[in-house]
Structure 1
Amino acid sequence: MKKINYIIGLLTLLSVFGCTKEWEAPGVEPNHQVIYTSEYQFGNRVQVGGSMTFTDASKGIVSRTWTLPEGSHIEGSSETSSTNDLIHIQFNEAGLKEVNLSQSFGGAAYDGNTQRESQLDTAILINVVDSLSLQVKAHFYFPDGTTGEELDLTKTNEVQAGRMVKYTLTAIGEPARIVYNFGGGDPSSVTYIESEIEDGTAAETIVQYKQLGTFSTTVLGDRPRPAGIDTLNFINTINVIPSSDPLLLTDVYVKDGFIALDYSREIEPASVDPSTFSVHLTNEGKGLDINPAVLTATVDPTAGNIVLIALDGENIYDDDVVTVTYQGGILQSTDFVAADEFIDELLVHRPNKNILEDSDYHYSMETSTGLDWPNGGWGAPFDHYDFTISDTESYHGSKSGKLVLPPGKGSAFSNNKTFPLEAGKSYEFGVWIKVESGASTIDDAAGEVPSILVYTAPDTDWGAGRFNITTETPEGEWIYARMDYYTAKTSTDFTFTYRPFNSANTQDLVLYMDYVTVREVNLRP
């Protein structure tokens, strides 16, 4: 029985010069198999109704036959087979399709550097995708995670201020990007990348409506190749009306240099009194512990549900720890619901973009194999290497790195890709981790507890910070581990060496790591 050579996904060119011989008689043509398609660099993907060029550039061919799959034909005809060296196939049916090529050579033929028989059968797998199409449904969504009745997006729907809506997406045709714009919503826009679409992250989006008025929603999906786009416009589909629900503080962060108190709906400007707010600011690295005076407190002119607090003579930096207190007063929403007091509400610094996403670095493990994370070859106690790529757990995408450390042992390993940093700029290095086991047996009182840190190269800072793992570290839950702040000395390409260590522990420490982050930060001078 003939052996069929399957070519899947990215079709590798079989080089005409793929084999060498010490001597060949003059005039004797070698037999080489060389097949390629017009889309081999793009995963052999084509849209329904589109065409693809197939070329048999093999040497020493005596005869050939192309056999086409169901739902396709030679472009410009109804033929489903051909003996030509170059053909254009039109695909009219979605799915994974198999184009077969049967070749007869004048003698034993080379497939790359491997010599095979004179009769070769090859199956080329083609991914025929549907035209891009989006479908979106919306339901009322409640804080306990349940959903209510469906909204009719062809009409205007009344939503009480502060309430939430869950948008559910169904995408056909493998989009590479989904972009939502929610008028009057929080968030106001969301962009999902291809990996988030594939792993289901983009399937549901929760939006809270905090501003009174009538708003529209748009959804765009597109892909670069084969080019496709679909856009949904739901005009004036959400009408946000006053509510008697409690007025909730939903977030505290920095906005344009102000402390932003983000409420569940719009605030009555006349009810804001600066004297009812106080701020506590600490920075352990700078030895700072102060209570800066509140200079002003006003409603954000661009978002009526946000109160902006300005401090008197003090700025907030990304490495500061800031809490805010509201002692009570007359603060209320525009629909006359009073705001509750709160004490020491923590300000959460909103992260800048992860610059690794624009590099080749394997920040999300999706394209990684174990070979991409080599052992650093350090001596004891950092000579234990047990790091594998796993598809059983993931924070982002469908893969993560699994790390196993015996008691008293550490590792040193890296990724063989690089990323750029700019001289004089400061960055935060972090990674999401999920401890599977081993946290409960740590001696928290020890001089050094288990930790994970990274060293940069070049310009290594051997005094780099670390993320400590203690008995307080939750097991079975993804948490963000900030490992270090770093100021680059030069503008060049960098790489990381990861150096985890399981000290002061009687059990193996087993954890997963995923979504490595490098974000620009503004540190207190």
Structure 2
Amino acid sequence: MKNAIRILAVLAILFVGCDDNEYEAPFPFSDVGFYTSKGTADDLQINLDDYLSFTDLSQGEESHSWKIESTDVFLEGPIDRTDSILDQFIIEPRVTSSFEKTVHVLFQSSGMKKVRLYNTFNEMVTFKGNRAGEDYEMAAVKKGDLYVIDTTFMVKVYPKLVPVIKVRNGEVTVNHEANDTIYIEAGNTLEFTDLSTIGEPTGRSWNIVKALKPGEEVTENPIVSSSGDSPANIAFNKLGSFRASMNLSRSGQNIPGDFANYVVNAPIRVIPSSKPFELTGDIREQEDETIQVPYNGEFTTFGGQEEFFTVMVNGEAFEIASVGVNVNDATKLDIKLAAPIYRPDVITVSYAGGTIESTDTREALPFTDEPVLMSTVNLIPEAIAGLETGADSWVPFWSNKGIAEYSTEQAATGAYSLKLQIAAGQDNAEAGATFENPIIFEAEKTYVVSYDMYIAPGAVGADGTSSTGLFLLQNWGFQFWNNFAHPVGEWKTHTVDYQSTTPLSQFYLRILPNAEKTTDMTVYYDNFTILEKEVRP
């Protein structure tokens, strides 16, 4: 009987150097035993054209032999770890059987391979091993006058990685293997898709580098853009010639690593865009009070253009200290004001049109009175604040009697809100959210606590006799009540000022019924925020 076993050793000894026929047991072994140079994995895993060593530790055997597949070969040791060319160690003539105690097997084809160890004994022996943390025993099988231990080692041989990609320019799949240039307008993207499967890759990285002219040497980091996605949509904002490549990799625990590089043969040429160079997206204040203006292309470096911009703060024109290109994203302009700005300020920006150009020589188009979205640093983690993970940051409180759950029935923003539902006769509807890291409030600072609320039409008790409140625990002394002073059927934001030095470790939100417990309503909550309060002096 033949036993195919995957736990391959009773002793995990890694080979530093492999020397045949010089094994001496440091202490008495059982009658049957073996080990490999890869230890005790469920499946031995190795790269193509690499080798594994196997040693038979059995004592007192009547006969002993190794058997390998015809596509693999035995190597003659010793073999040093630094030896990269293994052909010099192949035993000639090539055979598929060996009677040595230690063998080194070079795997020259990929797939699941078998290495068989066949031992016979004059008396009964039992192999004691461990598979996935569980001890087990395998007794010899009697065949005629002998007892046989027949063991097959399963080896997964990984083939070399073979990169396969697809490149799309808009709706057109381009022939990236040809020499024809891929033309793309500045500001547009190419889509790179990794289709590789051979060798079981686990990741990839795309790199875009500036193409060098004949004789030109690299003087700085040549990578101008990169991505690990598939598909990866990579924008080309600068004029010029570029080359694309993909680094394909395989890595992971117990997985033999491999790497392959693929260079896209077709050169990429970025030409001026036919689209106007204009404002795109929202103008936003950054945390450091920089006003950031986004355009649909990269700017060339410029100076002395402040006079063409106007920034109105609460109806008053503020002095502009500087206007320049953002150092990390050349598609954005940074405007710095000479005076501070505050979150409640109403700010607009105008550009009258100066001599600002894109890197592909387009002139920046003017705009008038565009609003600025002010910076808000919400101290509440996003999973609790916006509920968009749809996960379990909010859960029913231990004493909840109603319904407390995530919902997509209503949302102030995004897709999710928190739903509390209380029926007539119930004592409450309660939910809680625990903070992984408590929020620490500073003394002498005022904070603004807010949330959005929606009362579903048909509510009974939304007349001020019922109440809803948000506790900021562990400050039991503070509760943010609103008593449903709120129109039914529409979202409304509720805010309150808050001062405390008690760390916030948990939200506790509830609905309490009126005295008669006739309250019957469904309420949705969204966009919980805690912001440092800013007031213009």
When normalised by structure 2's length, the TM-score is: 0.52
Contact kept, 8 Å, 1:35 with 1:58, in 2: the verdict is no
Structure 2 partner of 1:117 = 139
Tell me the secondary structure at the aligned position of residue 247 of structure 2: strand
How far off its partner does 1:44 sit? Answer: 3.4
Quote the Cα distance in structure 2 between the aligned partners of 1:134 and 1:312: 54
1:158 corresponds to which of 179, 183, 195: 183
1:442 aligns with 2:471: no
1:204 corresponds to which of 231, 243, 252: 231
Structure 2 counterpart of 1:127, one-letter code: K
Structure 1 partner of 2:336 = 310
Larger Rg: 2
Percent of residue pairs bearing the same amino acid type: 18
Q: What are the equivalent positions in structure 2 for 1:402-421 lying under 5 Å apart?
A: 407-409=396-398
Structure 2 partner of 1:190 = 226
How far off its partner does 1:241 sit? Answer: 1.4
Structure 2 partner of 1:216 = 243
How far off its partner does 1:297 sit? Answer: 0.9
How far off its partner does 1:249 sit? Answer: 3.1
Relative to structure 1, the CA distance from residue 2 to residue 156 in structure 2 (aligned partners, 3 Å threshold; closer, same or farther) is closer
Q: What are the equivalent positions in structure 2 for 1:38-437 lying under 5 Å apart?
A: 38=38, 44-59=44-59, 61-69=61-69, 71-75=71-75, 76-77=90-91, 78-104=94-120, 106=123, 107-112=125-130, 113-118=135-140, 119-141=148-170, 147-150=171-174, 152=176, 154-171=179-196, 172-175=198-201, 178-183=204-209, 188-190=224-226, 192=228, 202-222=229-249, 226=256, 228-234=258-264, 237-246=267-276, 247=278, 249=280, 261-267=293-299, 269=302, 272-273=305-306, 276=309, 278=311, 294-300=320-326, 304-312=330-338, 325-330=348-353, 333=358, 334-336=361-363, 338=365, 342-345=370-373, 407-409=396-398
Relative to structure 1, the CA distance from residue 165 to residue 72 in structure 2 (aligned partners, 3 Å threshold; closer, same or farther) is same
Contact kept, 8 Å, 1:211 with 1:304, in 2: the verdict is no
Quote the Cα distance in structure 1 between the aligned partners of 2:31 and 2:451: 61
Structure 2 partner of 1:33 = 33
Relative to structure 1, the CA distance from residue 306 to residue 116 in structure 2 (aligned partners, 3 Å threshold; closer, same or farther) is same
The number of residues matched between the two structures is 365
Structure 1 counterpart of 2:349, one-letter code: Y
Quote the Cα distance in structure 2 between the aligned partners of 1:123 and 1:95: 15
Quote the Cα distance in structure 2 between the aligned partners of 1:256 and 1:404: 30
Structure 1 partner of 2:436 = 454
Structure 1 counterpart of 2:33, one-letter code: Q
Q: Structure 1, unaligned stretches of length 5 or more?
A: 17-26, 142-146, 193-201, 281-290, 350-394, 411-433, 473-498, 507-523
Tell me the secondary structure at the aligned position of residue 240 of structure 1: strand
How far off its partner does 1:168 sit? Answer: 1.5
Structure 2 partner of 1:374 = none
Relative to structure 1, the CA distance from residue 132 to residue 249 in structure 2 (aligned partners, 3 Å threshold; closer, same or farther) is same
Quote the Cα distance in structure 2 between the aligned partners of 1:117 and 1:267: 77
How far off its partner does 1:257 sit? Answer: 10
How far off its partner does 1:117 sit? Answer: 0.6
Quote the Cα distance in structure 2 between the aligned partners of 1:325 and 1:444: 42
Higher mean Cα deviation, 119-128 or 202-211? 119-128
Tell me the secondary structure at the aligned position of residue 273 of structure 2: coil
Structure 2 partner of 1:482 = none
Q: Structure 2, unaligned stretches of length 5 or more?
A: 14-26, 76-89, 141-147, 212-222, 378-387, 400-404, 410-415, 423-427, 443-448, 455-504, 512-519, 521-533
Contact kept, 8 Å, 2:66 with 2:115, in 1: the verdict is yes
Structure 2 counterpart of 1:52, one-letter code: L
Quote the Cα distance in structure 1 between the aligned partners of 2:60 and 2:507: 59
How far off its partner does 1:181 sit? Answer: 2.2
Tell me the secondary structure at the aligned position of residue 327 of structure 1: strand
Contact kept, 8 Å, 2:227 with 2:234, in 1: the verdict is no
Contact kept, 8 Å, 1:325 with 1:345, in 2: the verdict is no
Contact kept, 8 Å, 1:440 with 1:471, in 2: the verdict is no
When normalised by structure 1's length, the TM-score is: 0.53
How far off its partner does 1:158 sit? Answer: 1.6
How far off its partner does 1:159 sit? Answer: 0.7
Relative to structure 1, the CA distance from residue 243 to residue 123 in structure 2 (aligned partners, 3 Å threshold; closer, same or farther) is same
Relative to structure 1, the CA distance from residue 408 to residue 293 in structure 2 (aligned partners, 3 Å threshold; closer, same or farther) is farther
